[in-house]
């Protein structure tokens, strides 16, 4: 009872690197649309963002192509523009962290950049909506939460 006055109500987020599994018999267009939405809402700054995708080999290339096309159409910009789908990251420091993770991933010879991949020049802490393909389970981009608009 002497400590009860100091106990704080809290909420713990236990998500991170939320995986999505796409099987050969999946509706690829529906999966792409879902990831376009749920991988990039709040600029990917959410612990439940659909940021780690596993697709079966028979549909992998088709899925990557369709996802890249869909993600490249995401409009980023200021929140007061009604056509904006993707806002900025929270700070310059965080944008630099996301940039570093993506640059280190792209330095790996087996990883392909499908779309995006860099910070946006100008005002704001924007990072292009990004899709990386052919990542491996032990790659940093798979193991660490990016917390930005990056799907691998």
- Contact in structure between 121 and 75 (CB atoms under 8 Å): no
Listed as ranges, residues in the chain with pLDDT below 50 are none
CA–CA separation, 91 and 97 (whole Å): 10
- CATH architecture of structural domain 16-76+87-151: 3-Layer(aba) Sandwich (3.40)
The pLDDT value given to residue 3: 55
The pLDDT value given to residue 16: 67
The pLDDT value given to residue 2: 57
Per-residue model confidence as pLDDT tens digits over 109-122: 999 999 999 999 98
What is the pTM (predicted TM-score) of this model? Answer: 0.89
Catalytic residue (one of 13, 33, 65, 103):
13
Residue ranges of domains in the chain = 16-76+87-151
Helix (H, G, I), strand (E, B) or coil at 65: helix
Q: Is 47 one of the catalytic residues?
A: yes
- Contact in structure between 143 and 31 (CB atoms under 8 Å): no
The pLDDT value given to residue 86: 96
Catalytic residue (one of 33, 47, 121, 145):
47
The pLDDT value given to residue 13: 63
Q: Is 13 one of the catalytic residues?
A: yes
The pLDDT value given to residue 47: 83
């Amino acid at each position: 009872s002497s400590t009860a006055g100091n106990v704080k109500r809290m909420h713990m987020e236990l998500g991170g690197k939320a995986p999505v599994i796409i099987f050969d018999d999946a509706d690829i267009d529906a999966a792409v649309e879902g990831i376009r939405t749920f991988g990039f809402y709040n600029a990917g700054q959410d612990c439940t963002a659909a940021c780690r995708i596993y697709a079966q080999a028979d549909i992998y290339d088709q899925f990557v192509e369709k996802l890249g096309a869909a993600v490249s159409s995401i409009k980023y910009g200021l929140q007061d523009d009604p056509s904006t789908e993707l806002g900025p990251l929270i700070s310059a420091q965080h944008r630099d962290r996301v940039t570093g993770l993506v640059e280190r991933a792209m330095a790996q010879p087996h990883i392909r950049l499908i779309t995006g991949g860099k910070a946006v020049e100008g005002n704001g802490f924007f990072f292009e909506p990004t899709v990386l393909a052919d990542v491996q389970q032990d790659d940093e981009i798979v193991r660490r939460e990016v917390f930005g608009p990056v799907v691998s």
